[in-house]
A and B are shown apart, each in its own frame.
Chain A
Amino acid sequence: MCGICGCGQPHEHQHQHAHEHEGGHEAEAQRRLQVELDLFSRNNRHAQTNREMFARRNLLVLNLVSSPGSGKTALLVETLKQQRGELPVAVIEGDQQTHQDADRIRATGVEAVQINTGTLCHLDAHMVGHAMEQLPELQNGILYIENVGNLVCPAGFDLGEAAKVVILSVTEGDDKPLKYPGMFHAAQLMILNKIDLLPHVDFDVEACIEYARRINPDIQVLQLSARTGEGLSAWLNWLAGQRRDQLDARIDQLESELRALKAQL
């Protein structure tokens, strides 16, 4: 059971100061309240709980987002083939229906949890928190969350991840960053996949990167082909770098907490 939700039980908690004004002249004691109720607050609270758990378990968690058919699962399969046996890895798969993607991941020998969102177009932090109950042993490694193939809705829902990685294949339009800016703004890394097909398509790599940087000046870019393996090592290096940075930050934080406690002696 997750600590916050109690599932289905409304358990909202927000800090706000409500005060009445006007009102009173209507028969049924109608009144107005000034409030500040953030519609993302429930999801954000679950995301925070997830983030704290991921930190305790020293997990690098990446939220992989893209349109359907960009090659997310293929990239994951190739990545896992390199990483299994080297470090603990697992995958949470989000799809509206079927467990085909989870089956593809499990075929590599890596643990996968399938979430079927039904009519919903995105994963939320609450679903991910519950999926983690099926991965109780996972720590000191990487958790990949493959979101529902959709470049719109998943942008607004924090899952507690360290970073969003947006995957765009060169068989799509090079202007997608401009068409779906929310996602490209939210992502730390853009992966251009299927670059082995570049000679056969009209995809302008330079223009695409320039569009992405208009939306998000800090976005990092990697180009690869999950099918041929070209560029895969740069992606594996990026992952290793992220893990190291996260571990350094965590050690710094724990050491400073320890110093503060020792000062109490």
Chain B
Amino acid sequence: MHELSLCRSLISLLRQQAEEQHFSRVTQLWLDVGPLAAVVPDAMMFAFEAASQGTLAEGARLHIVERPGRARCRACGAETEISQWYQPCAECGAYQLQVLSGDELKIRELEVV
């Protein structure tokens, strides 16, 4: 259930934003999730609902936007899209991918009032 502690971090980030950007409530938010972020969308939704109760984000719609990750092959140098940690290179088939991105977990957009 580390989704719950992540959602608590999320709520405190939103409070800080509300102060800086002068809004009182969050109505929708868009969360970019990389395939390697070790976050399960359903668990995230559930945890967000629990963590947001009684806060400025209570009742807000959380949209989870799954973003592909990228990796570079050490064997042939090609850059490919990845969806999991252990994947062969799409070009040469080697298991030598060096992950460049894919573990991000970031709020990109807010709808606020």
**A contact set with B: CB distance below 8 Å:** 10-14, 18, 23, 26, 28-43, 119-122, 124, 152-153, 155-157, 178, 181-182, 184-185, 211, 213-215, 217
Contacts and interface: CB of A to CB of B under 8 A. Distances in A.
B110 A32 contact: yes
B63 to A, nearest CB: 12
Contacts, number: 114
Contacts of B12: 10, 12, 42
Contact of A29 (B6, B85, B95, B113): B113
Contacts of A215: 85-86
Nearest to B20: A18
Interface of B: 1-2, 5-6, 9-10, 12-17, 20-21, 23, 27, 31, 36-38, 74, 84-86, 95-96, 98-99, 103-113
A37 B85 contact: no
Contacts of A29: 113
A31 B85 contact: no
Given A13-B16, A30-B111, A213 B95 contact: yes
SS class, residues of chain B in contact with chain A: mixed
Contacts of B113: 26, 28-31
Given A12-B16, A13-B16, A39-B106, A155 B38 contact: yes
Nearest to B6: A39
A42 B106 CA distance: 12
B40 to A, nearest CB: 10
5 closest Cβ contacts across the A-B interface?
A: A181-B85, A10-B12, A12-B16, A214-B95, A37-B107
A49 B10 CA distance: 20
Nearest to A185: B85
A40 B2 contact: no
B2 A182 contact: no
Nearest to A211: B86
